[in-house]
Chain A
Amino acid sequence: MRKVLMKGNEAIGAAAIEAGCKYFFGYPITPQSELPEYMARELPKIGGVFLQAESEIAAINMVYGAAGSGVRVMTSSSSPGMALKQEGISYMAGAELPCVIVNIMRGGPGLGGIQPSQTDYFQATRGGGNGDYRLVVLAPADVQELVDLIIEGFDIADQYRNPVMILGDGMIGQMMEPVEFKEPKKRDLPEKDWATTGTEGKRKPNIINSLYLAPEELEKHNIKLQAKYREIKEKEVKVQSYNIEDGDVVIAAYGTTSRIVKTAISQLEREGYKVGLIRPITLWPYPYEEFQKINDECKGILTVEMNNGQMIDDVKIAVEGKYPVYFYGRTGGMVPTPDEIVKKVKEIHGGEI
């Protein structure tokens, strides 16, 4: 298939439509507004619906209703807006409804700024809403991967009846790259026989719900959710690694930051350093096991993030104290440069090549 040049935010919309998503409920916020704008143009052409809600809270609850009715549906926002969506996300996790939620992250806390950041890692992977729930969190590093993960994300959501979050940042949303739209791997997707479609007099009423007043029933529901999360952990981990069997230092980075890290690694290799990379593509489930493959002589793991250190917690869990874990990050919309990362790696390395 021929490649087309697309801006990240618009590619998300095109990929969603490619995946059969005809419904989008959103609210404007920088730096993701090109996505709802794209959907406002494109969805009516295919008989779908774009609706600008009165707030992010309303938008996610519209998604809740639409997902309960059995269709593929999407919403998007950026960090402060995503904070508002947490209520609906928790309800959807509780009621086990599939949907795809896109967070094009900007700096925080509060209103923060509008430049790229990765400060919502905790919010996305630890659950920004109430209750013991998990989202599948996918972190693309380029526009092609963004497209692939959106398309596959709808399948993952339907397969497990669970919300899927695409965690990008202002950089990937705004950059233009060539993309092609590929079929994802075939999955055996269950019938949505639980959806509210009207009984048509043919079946008992379907109820979409996250309320279980009896404690034994709520515990049972949670045990069921946890079993599902275990299955996702077993089957859906995605990670890209480079030279971790040989690297004297291994860097952990995800999303657009990982691309800056790759540039830094090339520079270090030209100078004779051996540096590895672990790039989690799923932030939940996290690729903990990949860190077991790091060579024993590795001097340390460097986590690079556009925040003050959030994924570093998962890196520390993954290495189980076997290696020292270091951090380098820029925040507030500042982007780390390859030179800064090179300097940090050399410090950890300590000189001898």
Chain B
Amino acid sequence: MAKARGRVIFEEDLCKGCGLCVSVCPTKIISLDNSTINAKGYHPAIVIEMDKCIGCANCAMMCPDVVITVERY
């Protein structure tokens, strides 16, 4: 069986950098980007190794600001 593959899209400028998505990602691919400050003045959540995303939507479940869209392949 092929491994589930997913993709998450963050609306970075709406992120408040709370990190709740970071803590629930089973593949640990989300981090807060300390090198960037978004339009709201926060370090936004980003994903670097997108190929490891399994599309589980845990991050979206916990995001209080509904900034995440989740796709699955």
A–B interface present (Cβ within 8 A): no
